């Protein structure tokens, strides 16, 4: 397989199929080149007749033969319809490929129906002036998410190459993520593992659950850092990345995250009765969950990079109250 010219958006490219690649589907073949296309992207472009086989339109499922010529071009990235917004960001690291943010609680990551402003994407569109396009759109590439009221580290890609590289790392579970959480109750073990599939709750659509027929594999490791009378400070190492995974898993074993409005103990047996702790949680006004550490391979340099975010002040104040109460 050889490139006649390095691909750039809007420029023509040609690829010669070698013996190594014969028999592959066309969309699969394209996803394995340095064009930085996912298989779904390649399929879409083939169906739009922007990529050709031996100078003729074809199907994504066409199997290649040695000597075939794959050619075409991609359109220039289109601007995203969202408005850039000068929102405050705590940036821990940035280069031409990636940006690492220490997200404050209360910020939604990605726009959704009825929520097109005030998000991390809006802020990044304003801040990043060197976006080269992700999936054909000038936008930051969000490869993982944090819940609105979870604080801490998140990495975003600034070009398609970085986006594809990071996406594969998260998919292959080679990204190390470490969280901190304050949870209800105490443990009789120092560490443990929760291995329960997670899927959409059968009746409450905003919730996820381990009691579902169509769950996806989810694994969470936990380790006890500090224990108090009725709460525990935990280190959490999620091995997978399902929606609400940490919150669902901890709630499923009877130790929901303190202050969690969706999976917590509000108006349930085991709810907080201590007036001082109640006041702390009310002031916290969110789940006590923080993405503290993040380690991955830099998509351009190939080196391991490591980032740490300190425990935010609101969670620190809860811990200080618990410690003072214990003393």
Residues in contact with 282: Cβ distance below 8 Å, sequence separation at least 6, in sequence order: none
Reading phi first (left if > 0) and then psi (alpha if -120 to 50, else beta), residue 70 is in beta
Residues in contact with 304: Cβ distance below 8 Å, sequence separation at least 6, in sequence order: 295, 296, 297, 298
Which of 144, 219, 149, 234 is closest to 186 using CA atoms? Answer: 234
- For the chain, strand residue ranges (E) read 2-3, 13-16, 51-53, 69-72, 78-79, 91-94, 98-103, 137-138, 141-142, 151-157, 176-184, 191-195, 199-200, 208-209, 219-227, 231-238, 289-297, 304-308
List the structure tokens of 241: 């990345």
Residues in contact with 203: Cβ distance below 8 Å, sequence separation at least 6, in sequence order: none
| 48 contacts 37 by C-beta, under 8 angstroms | no
Catalytic residues: 147
Residues in contact with 159: Cβ distance below 8 Å, sequence separation at least 6, in sequence order: 96, 97, 131, 132, 133, 134, 141
Residues in contact with 136: Cβ distance below 8 Å, sequence separation at least 6, in sequence order: 41, 74, 75, 77, 78
List the structure tokens of 200: 């959409």
List the structure tokens of 120: 């991390």
Which of 196, 194, 273 is closest to 234 using CA atoms? Answer: 194
């Amino acid at each position: 397989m050889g490139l006649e010219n390095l691909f750039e958006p809007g420029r023509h490219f040609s690829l010669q199929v070698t013996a190594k690649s014969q028999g592959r589907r066309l969309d699969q073949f394209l996803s394995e080149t340095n064009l930085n296309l996912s298989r779904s992207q390649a399929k879409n472009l083939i169906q739009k007749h922007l990529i050709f086989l031996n100078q003729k339109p074809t199907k994504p499922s066409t199997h290649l033969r040695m000597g075939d010529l794959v050619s075409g071009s991609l359109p220039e990235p289109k601007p995203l319809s969202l408005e850039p917004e000068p929102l405050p960001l705590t940036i821990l690291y940035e280069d031409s490929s990636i940006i690492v943010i220490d997200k404050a609680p209360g910020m939604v990551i990605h726009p959704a129906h009825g929520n097109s402003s005030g998000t991390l994407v809006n802020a990044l569109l304003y801040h990043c002036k060197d976006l080269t396009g992700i999936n054909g759109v000038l936008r930051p590439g969000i490869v993982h998410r944090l819940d609105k009221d979870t604080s801490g580290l998140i990495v975003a890609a600034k070009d398609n190459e970085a986006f594809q590289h990071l996406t594969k790392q998260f998919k292959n579970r080679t990204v190390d993520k470490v969280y901190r959480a304050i949870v209800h109750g105490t443990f009789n073990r120092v560490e443990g593992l929760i291995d329960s599939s997670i899927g959409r709750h059968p009746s409450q659509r905003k919730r996820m659950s381990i009691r579902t027929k169509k769950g996806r594999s989810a694994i969470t490791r936990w380790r006890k850092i500090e224990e108090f009378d009725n709460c525990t400070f935990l280190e959490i190492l999620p091995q997978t990345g399902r929606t609400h995974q940490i919150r669902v898993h901890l709630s499923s074993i009877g130790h929901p995250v303190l202050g969690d409005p969706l999976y917590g103990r509000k108006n349930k047996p085991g709810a907080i009765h201590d007036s001082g702790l109640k006041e702390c949680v009310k002031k916290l006004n969110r789940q006590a969950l923080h993405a503290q550490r993040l380690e991955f391979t830099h998509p351009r340099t190939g080196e391991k990079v490591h980032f740490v975010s300190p425990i935010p002040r609101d969670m620190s104040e809860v811990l200080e109250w618990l410690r003072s109460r214990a003393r």
